[in-house]
Amino acid sequence: MKKFLSLLLAGVLLFVMAACTANENAGKETDSKDDGKKEEESAEKVLYLNNGQEPTSFDPPIGFDSVSWSALNNLMEGLTRLGQNHEPEAAIAEKWDISEDGKTYTFQIREDAKWSNGDPVTAGDFEFAWKRLLNPDTGSSAAFLGYFIEGGEAYNNGEGSADDVKVKAVDDKTFEVTLVSPQAYFLSVITNPAFFPINEKVATENPQWFAEAESFVGNGPFNLTEWEHDSHFVMEKNDQYWDAENVKLDKINWAIIDDTNTEYQMYQTGELDVSAVPSELSEQLLGEAKVEDQAGDYFYRFNVNMEPFQNENIRKAFAMAVDQKQIVDFVTKNGEKPAYGFVSYGFKDADGKDFRETAGDLVQTNLEEAKTLLKKGMEEEGYETLPEVTLTYSTSDSHKKIAEALQQMFKENLGVEVKLANMEWNVFAEEQKALKFQLSRSSFLADYADPINFLENFQTGHSMNRTGWSSEKYDQLIKDAKNEADEAKRFELMYEAEKILFEEMPIIPIHFYNQVYLYNDAVSGIVRHPVGYLELKWADKK
Amino acid sequence: MTGYIIKRLIAMVVTLWFIITLTFFLMHSIPGSPFNEERNTSEAVQRNLEKFYHLDEPLYVQYGMYLKSVATFDFGPSIKKSSQTVNEMLGRGFPVSFELGIVTLIVAVFSGIALGIIAALRHNGFIDYLAMTIAVLGISVPNFVLATLLIQQLAVNLAILPVATWSSPKHMILPTLALATGPMAIIARLTRSSMLEVLTQDYIKTAKAKGLSPVKIVFKHALRNALLPVVTVLGSLAASILTGTFVIEKIFAIPGMGKYFVESINTRDYPVIMGTTVFYSSILIIMLFLVDIAYGVLDPRIKLHKKEAS
């Protein structure tokens, strides 16, 4: 009896399994159909990419992050666009004049610049968009970038009005901007998606024009044709784009896959053309990957208001006890460049020399010197034993590995036992701003391509300072650099400022960021700018 | 029965209100803010953002506004994805999670019960050990490990199934397998142990003595009682599987709602936290209610209206 029953049930189980197998076979059939489709499509050039996460927003001043920029930078275009060498080039603006004092920019907008719905792109669209960026009611976290413009800051913090913002559509094709101070890198700042124009007519009719593919109106190399939120989106070549003849791809399919392992597996099966490198496989795959600079630092902040880091020599001792090279070679293993300064590689000064190379190593791993400085610092403070030091990082495996390596280095190189603590990122960010840590993990990614963007962070009271460090001389240098119209002098001021920063050492730089990706051999021409935007205008696929 | 149901419905609404209130105040008591960023932000920008989302209002005002929005089933726009409303996010994510969840539940329940019965009937035999080994493996191997293994073997090495994304029925196979194994194992073990208990009882002996067919004994007499513990776990299991699972959805790039639970808390996206919590609790409460009703159907000895009498 029992035998019969168990046979019957085993049969049921087999049936369930068979049902699964049947499905697998069914899957195969559709698979071969898919292949057929792909071959048909191969006449047109389709690129398969992954955006990682759902874009925050395609509203230019709101989508202020890399998950939005990758797409937005290819759907729209500002007055200038970063070229293949990462320098700003004429884009929607055909040419521009800069006044004698370097403060007033007059842009001539291309006659053939059009929106994807056929409307001409006008100076009014820029005026509308830039004032909207600064409007406090827009709630844009990118608004501070508009503080370069005269009247921008006052309007955004509620003290001024839109009329006082010095952006003006002189006529349909002439756009005039007056800056607070002469800034040669302004042309690079306005390549940021926050400064993209907005079709005023479309936005007035439908304030949510950016929320869906159907209503999206852009002016870039590609058009948004499909957007299934959280799943995927599709771009197709924009025939209305002024430089359409130089756009080679017909279509870009963006998946939204928030898992690097899955992304890499799909790259292996050919479902994606580009993939990041999963951290566990970085040693194996780094050789095949393309490694490019990204403007930003991974670093640690001292709190100069907390013992024992009020002492400059103790700060220096800790900084010199860190071996950045070992960290990038044996801990992160992702091909990063070790950081011995704060401004990252890739910024040319007035003589065309790289800022980082000219400034040189401002902090060096020096174990002897570190021990001497620690002793000296302790004597200065009258310490018999060093007050307890806690190093805090936000919870994540990669941060933990670096924190543990630092702990080991402080122990071996200085003989100091450092305690480790970690907390959830959001709480960590809040406490770090409130200066509640002694020594804590930090990162910085540049918002625009100029060394001043790195250096301005450490001005007294700046929202990115977060160390309690303050130097009148440093503040003055930054201020002077911002008002200096002569490029050679401006760089001199910045070189000097960075030197002061490292003489007083409120931070320990660890490494510069990079962008590491695997590319399908058939793909070429994808440009990744150090400031973080992805450029597909020149991309091609065989 | 009707009286009981009305009473339960009132209790459900009160429970929900309690959950909403607790979540609301707990959520605002965690340090951090949706506008915390590692990058540069100006104070004016921060203030503008807080004003924009009414976060500068006193907490009781925000709570009042919130209760109003729950009562009208309008959870408002997300803070992090400001061009989308929480309703849109749930409306989009839930059907996907539900689809995956329902298939997973069917696979898990049927194969789990079948495994459990076979194991109980072949108690201490080879099949029993085999079934229970599968079950122990199913419980102890986390689903994300299983998922990665399945992808690597079936999708990358053998290339018979797609790696990830959500576009056709064959895309469902791997996530279903990865997700169903754990619950299947739990159900199999529960079924086995309660079957073993039931099979030794007198009424089963009586049934055998009466000469009933084994199929009738197992399915009509034994299984019905043996399933009670399974039904108990099924309520909460169904609620959690149907509303999506963060890890599996992340690995397979499934556009379900599982990720909102985790991401909204990490980013302090208050409207999304509240939306997902209210939604999940409603489903859980309804499922538990259905389980109680199912008890009565499965076991007539459990009388639902008994409470009324007492």
Closest Cα of chain A to B291: distance in Å?
25
Q: What is the pLDDT of residue A23?
A: 40
CB contact residues (below 8 A), chain B span 58-87, against chain A: 80-84
Q: Which residues pair with A515 in a beta bridge?
A: A292
Looking up tokens 């009703």, which residue turns up?
B293
- B-chain residues within 8 Å CB-CB of A440? none
What pLDDT digit, counting tens, does each position of B237-265 carry?
888 788 778 889 989 989 888 888 888 88
Assess whether B98 and B206 both reside in one domain: yes
Residue B231 domain flag = yes
pLDDT of amino acid A299: 96
Give Cβ neighbours of residue A394 (< 8 Å, ≥ 6 apart): A422, A423, A424, A425, A428, A429, A441
CATH ID of A294-513, from 3.20.20.70, 1.10.10.60, 1.10.287.610, 3.10.105.10: 3.10.105.10
Q: How many domains does chain B have?
A: 2
- Contact A265/B155, CB-based, under 8 Å? yes
User: Does the interface ipTM go beyond 0.85?
Assistant: no
Note whether residue B290 is domain-resident: no
In this chain, the answer to whether the domains covering A77-199 and A294-513 adopt an identical fold is no
- On whether both B140 and B260 belong to a single domain, the answer is yes
Q: Is B279 inside any structural domain?
A: no
**Beta strands at A46-50 and A418-423: parallel, antiparallel or unpaired:** unpaired
Q: What is the pLDDT of residues A61-73, one digit of tens each?
A: 999 888 999 999 9
What is the C-alpha to C-alpha distance for residues B76 and B264, in angstroms, rounded to an integer? 14
Instruction: Report CB contact under 8 Å: B218, A24.
Output: no
Task: Give the C-alpha separation, B157 to B186, whole Å.
Answer: 30
pLDDT of residue A491: 95
Q: Is the pLDDT of residue A480 over 90?
A: yes
In-domain check, residue B289 = no
Q: Could you say which residues from 159 to 188 on chain B have a Cβ atom under 8 Å away from some Cβ of chain A?
A: 159-166, 168-170, 173, 177
Whether residues B58 and B95 fall in one domain: no
Whether residue B199 is contained in a domain is answered as yes
Of the candidates B217, B205, B185, the one whose C-alpha atom is nearest the C-alpha of residue A8 is B217
Domain holding B138, by residue range, is 90-266
Q: What percent of chain B has pLDDT above 90? A: 14
CB contact under 8 A, A431 and B31: yes
Whether residue B204 is found in the same domain as residue B254: yes
Alpha helices in A55-122 (DSSP H): 66-75
Q: Name the strand (E) or helix (H) holding A276.
A: strand A274-276
Do B28 and B132 sit in the same domain of this protein? no
What does the domain layout of chain A look like in residue ranges?
Answer: 77-199, 294-513
Q: In chain B, how many H helices and how many E strands?
A: 15, 0
- Asked if B149 reaches chain A (Cβ–Cβ under 8 Å), the answer is no
Contact between A6 and B36 using a beta-carbon 8 Å cutoff: no
CA distance A503 to A102: 33
Backbone angles phi, psi at A511, to 5 degrees: -150, 160
pLDDT at B134: 85
Of A305, A308, A299, A300, nearest in space to A436 by CA: A305
Q: For A399-433, how does the pLDDT look when each residue is reduced to its tens digit (9 = 90+)?
A: 999 999 999 999 999 999 999 999 999 899 989 99
| Structural domain contains residue B11 | yes
pLDDT in the model for residue B122: 85
Q: pLDDT category, A283, cuts 50, 70, 90?
A: confident
Measure CB to CB from residue B163 to each of A6, A157, A262 and give the nearest one.
A262
Q: Does domain A77-199 have CATH number 3.90.76.10?
A: yes
3-state secondary structure A240-264: CCCCHHHCCCCEEEEECCCCHHHHH
Contact A5/B215, CB-based, under 8 Å?
Answer: yes
The residue from B71, B98, B126 where one domain ends is B71
* Among A398, A265, A406, CA closest to A332: A398
- Taking CB atoms and an 8 Å cut-off, how many pairs form between chains A and B? 201
pLDDT digits (tens, 9 = 90+) for B38-79: 777 777 777 888 888 888 888 889 898 888 888 888 888 888
Whether the CB-CB separation of B195 and B117 falls below 8 Å is answered with: yes
* End residue of a domain, out of B44, B71, B98: B71
Cβ pair B42:A156 closer than 8 A: yes
CATH of the domain at B168: 1.10.3720.10
Chain B stretch 12-51, residues whose beta carbon is closer than 8 A to a beta carbon of chain A: 30-33, 35-45, 47-49, 51
* pLDDT grade for B169, boundaries at 50, 70 and 90: confident
Length of chain A: 542
Q: A355 falls in which pLDDT band (50, 70, 90)? A: very high
